[in-house]
Amino acid sequence: MTVDHEQQIRTNGHSYEEPVREILVMGHPTLHDVTSRIASIVESKLSIKYLLTLSVTLSMLGLGVAALGYTIMTGIGVWGLNNPVGWGWDITNFVFWIGIGHAGTLISAILYLFRQRWRTAINRSAEAMTLFAVACAMSMVLGHTGRQWLFYWLLPFPNQMQMWVNFRSPLMWDVFAVNTYGTVSLLFWFVGLVPDLATLRNYVRNSFARKIYSFFSLGWTGSHRHWHHYEIAYMILAGISTPLVLSVHSVVSMDFTVGILPGWHTTIFPPYFVAGAIFSGFAMVMTLLIIAREVLDLKQFITLKHLDNMNRIMLATGMMVGYAYAMEFFIAWYSANPWEMWIFQNRAFGDYAWAYWTMISCNVIAPQIFWFRKFRRNIPLMFVISIFINIGMWFERFTIIATSLHHDFLPSSWGYYTPTWVEVSIFIGTFGLFLSAFLLFAKFVPVIAIAEVKAILPGSQPSHKHEHGHAHAEVTGH
């Protein structure tokens, strides 16, 4: 492809683009610009700033590993859990992280199937986030059991004990749901990466790095045949992932709904949890993207248009969870079940009222500001709101778990739960894991899907007005 050709596409594209639809890549880069802009991140030297940040996140991870090690050596007793409250920060964090992962799948799979082209700028990092979040969530479930070294008993495998797992247990469903989710997300992410890894293979000068990229690009040559298979594979994986967006968190919510505890035993949970997961996932993507956009200078690709769209989704899902909160109260009252009525009254005005109102403020009230376009495009503001939503969604899970458990049926067994430094450290550790992984990803893997972005450059898509079909092949063939 010649520079002239690219120039032509660019100018043509500019003139053909519909004025109403905002362009998704700013600054009219050429195809080469896109490649070099994104691939250069991999080639550039490690900056002090990067290393400092990484050392901080690795320290957090180290703290978490140490705290988890201490837990495994001593017992779950080093946490604050007690007899009425058997789950606390452990499962709160698990649900929180699983929820975070949902944005990635939603963006990758559902938005892909719906041909939402704006997703291309953010899908790669969102998918990576999904993977890292699932890893964090898995570390929480594996770490939360009393005898962590027997974690494999949760897997159905033939064994000398002749014991099979209990398929009636929602925790068992969780094992399948989360494992499926992790596997599919990894495959989806990796398949999407193959063309870009090939690009990097061609781009990098370091021979060692080239070998690595070469290995992982699976001999990609960019042939039409490759592209053909790639598109099919990607479409199939997107198809497989799509139900997972709905199923994983539905299954997670069944950990609670199958229980007979007032505050857990409600049918609204599956949709409510899915909405909440997308809500929290988008908030987390938002938080990270705003930082990445600044630090890695990706404003060209991650435009205000993207952020605006994400804010709209957050507004919508935030209203959904708000509706669910209200509906829980309505049903509790409508059921005339004294246990239900009491538990919700206790949720809002009991010992954990502070957690409940933190959740309401962060999840329901804060996102309302996104009704206004001005605020949807105000970066510092949306950054703050996204953090609020992260906090609020964590508290949502905490409220569901801790307030329902600490005061249940028999008043004689009521208790109160306060976490210890160990649990806090483990939570910090999961953030360490998440952020460290994200930093490494951002440095060594193309954070933006190069091939896909090229497809949404102005003029790169086929148009009924002019020479469609021609540009498409050219663009993707790079």
**Contact range with other proteins by CB under 8 A, out of 9-17, 130-138, 198-206, 404-412:** 404-412
**Contact range with other proteins by CB under 8 A, out of 43-51, 71-79, 207-215, 452-460:** 71-79
Q: What is the dihedral of CA 435, 143, 187, 97, to 10 degrees?
A: -50
CB nearer to other proteins: pick between 16 and 342? 342
**Contact range with other proteins by CB under 8 A, out of 151-159, 196-204, 379-387, 457-465:** 151-159
Tokens of 26: 């700013």
User: Is the distance from CB of 25 to CB of 457 less than 8 angstroms?
Assistant: yes
Q: How far is the CB of 143 from other proteins (least distance, A)?
A: 11
Half-sphere exposure of 299 (CA within 13 A, CB side): 5
Tokens of 355: 């957690």
| Dist. CA 358–CA 370, nearest whole Å | 19
Whether the CA torsion 378, 379, 384, 388 is positive or negative: it is positive
Binding mask of the shown chain, residues 28 to 67, with x at each position contacting other proteins by CB under 8 A = ----------------------------------------
Q: How far is the CB of 140 from other proteins (least distance, A)?
A: 12
Is residue 145 involved in binding other proteins (CB under 8 A)?
A: yes
Q: Which of 19, 158, 380, 411 binds other proteins (CB under 8 A)?
A: 411
Q: Which of 1, 3, 52, 163 binds other proteins (CB under 8 A)?
A: 163
CB nearer to other proteins: pick between 50 and 151? 151
CB nearer to other proteins: pick between 171 and 233? 171
Q: Which residues touch 16 (CB under 8 Å, ≥6 apart)?
A: 458, 459, 463, 465, 466
Is residue 423 involved in binding other proteins (CB under 8 A)?
A: no
Q: List b or e across 49-68, with b for residues whose CB sees 16 or more CB atoms inside 10 angstroms.
A: ebeebbeebbebbebbbebb
> In whole angstroms, how large is the CA radius of gyration of the chain?
24
| Dist. CA 365–CA 370, nearest whole Å | 10
Q: Tell which positions 323-352 bind other proteins, by CB under 8 A.
A: 338-339, 342, 345
Q: Which of 110, 172, 209, 387 binds other proteins (CB under 8 A)?
A: 172
**Contact range with other proteins by CB under 8 A, out of 82-90, 197-205, 226-234, 432-440:** 82-90
Is residue 410 involved in binding other proteins (CB under 8 A)?
A: yes
CB nearer to other proteins: pick between 16 and 151? 151
Is residue 171 involved in binding other proteins (CB under 8 A)?
A: yes
Q: How far is the CB of 273 from other proteins (least distance, A)?
A: 17
Task: Give the closest residue to 473 by CA, choosing from 9, 51, 161, 155.
Answer: 9
Tokens of 165: 């797992």
Residue 54 CA to chain centroid, in angstroms? Answer: 20
Backbone angles phi, psi at 210, to 5 degrees: -60, -40
CB nearer to other proteins: pick between 79 and 189? 79
Backbone angles phi, psi at 22, to 5 degrees: -70, 145
Whether the CA torsion 144, 150, 151, 155 is positive or negative: it is negative
Q: How far is the CB of 331 from other proteins (least distance, A)?
A: 17
Q: How far is the CB of 367 from other proteins (least distance, A)?
A: 31
Per-residue DSSP letter, 301: T
Is residue 165 involved in binding other proteins (CB under 8 A)?
A: yes
Is residue 85 involved in binding other proteins (CB under 8 A)?
A: yes
Q: How far is the CB of 431 from other proteins (least distance, A)?
A: 24
Size of the site for other proteins (CB under 8 A): 53
Is residue 164 involved in binding other proteins (CB under 8 A)?
A: yes
Is residue 424 involved in binding other proteins (CB under 8 A)?
A: no
Is residue 267 involved in binding other proteins (CB under 8 A)?
A: no
Is residue 69 involved in binding other proteins (CB under 8 A)?
A: no
Half-sphere exposure of 382 (CA within 13 A, CB side): 31
Q: Which residues touch 232 (CB under 8 Å, ≥6 apart)?
A: none
* Tokens 């510092």 belong to residue: 380
CB nearer to other proteins: pick between 127 and 340? 340
| Dist. CA 139–CA 124, nearest whole Å | 23
CB nearer to other proteins: pick between 86 and 222? 86
Helix (H) or strand (E) holding 322: helix 304-335
State the residues that interact with other proteins by CB under 8 A.
74-87, 144-148, 150-151, 153-154, 161, 163-166, 168-172, 175, 255, 258-261, 338-339, 342, 345, 405, 408-416
